[in-house]
Amino acid sequence: MTVLLAGCASAPSSGGPATSPPADQSLILATTTSTQDSGLLDELLPAFTRDSGWQVKTLAVGSGQAIELGRRGEADVLLVHSPAAEEKFVAEGSAGPRRLVMHNDFVLLGPPADPAGIRGTKSTDAMKKIEAARAMFVSRGDESGTHAKEKTLWAGAAVKPGGSWYQSTGQGMGETLRVAGEKAAYTLSDRATFLTQHGSLELEVLSEGDPALLNVYHVIEMTTKAGERVRPDGAKAFADWIVAPPAQRLIGEFGRAKYGRPLFTPDAGVDEATLGQ
């Protein structure tokens, strides 16, 4: 589990002096490794602390683990990307509001030689070709949102992966990309993490763009029904902030200067049913 402390020494906000938030005005954000590995948290959390006075301790894990932390009352707010698991969790009753924040997409990656011949194919056909060729595939295998999406793709292709060609790291996205690159294997990644690390990888985007590869993030506020330690005031402060226009603009600009394109698309207030159309 990766722990990142943010906001412990906040910089001055524009037009005002620096402030030191009270020591007890802190919250725990459980989120995905993709938001950390992409660098997005480094952009958002200092701004949130400056704007709100709340300090943030971040637990960067897979979405499944983040949801479990919320279920146990060990996190105040979640930023995750596993919609089916999120909906099931919220229905249990210990969570508060769940709101759309942003999206990007998943991409199927592989070695330039592309031994399974998936380049330019739809994701379902790509998964079938990888299995048919028994080409090496490296999975996160960690019940993260990315792993959940991968399992959905295999199911859509009517493939049950297994055997020596299919390996799991049990690690986050950055480490899984490293292993896939070293093994000249295929893998599934969120686009943002791949773009931030592709310079060190012998991997290429081989399948992309179909609706099945949409990657949607929501913020979920926890309540004291999950545990007495939960700070619902902090959860609401973060959730309100990340869907407000200033934070949405930060999200929409993140990555543009370095990569020539934003790594995430802000979606607060958008009809989720229209995403990917």
Show the low-confidence residues of the chain (pLDDT under 70).
Answer: 1-23, 277
- Tens of pLDDT, residues 215-263: 999 999 999 999 999 999 999 999 999 999 999 999 999 999 999 999 9
Nearest residue to 112 (alpha-carbon basis) of 220, 202, 34, 189: 202
d(CA 104, CA 266): 9
pLDDT at 23: 57
CATH numeric code, 105-213: 3.40.190.10
- Tens of pLDDT, residues 68-99: 999 999 999 999 999 999 999 999 999 999 99
pLDDT at 3: 40
pLDDT at 58: 97
pLDDT at 19: 42
**Domains 2-104+214-274 and 105-213 agree in fold:** yes
d(CA 206, CA 208): 7
pLDDT at 132: 98
pLDDT at 24: 76
What do you get for the CA distance between the two ends of the chain, in Å?
36
Domain ranges of the chain: 2-104+214-274, 105-213
pTM summary value: 0.86
Q: Which fold has domain 2-104+214-274?
A: D-Maltodextrin-Binding Protein; domain 2 (3.40.190)
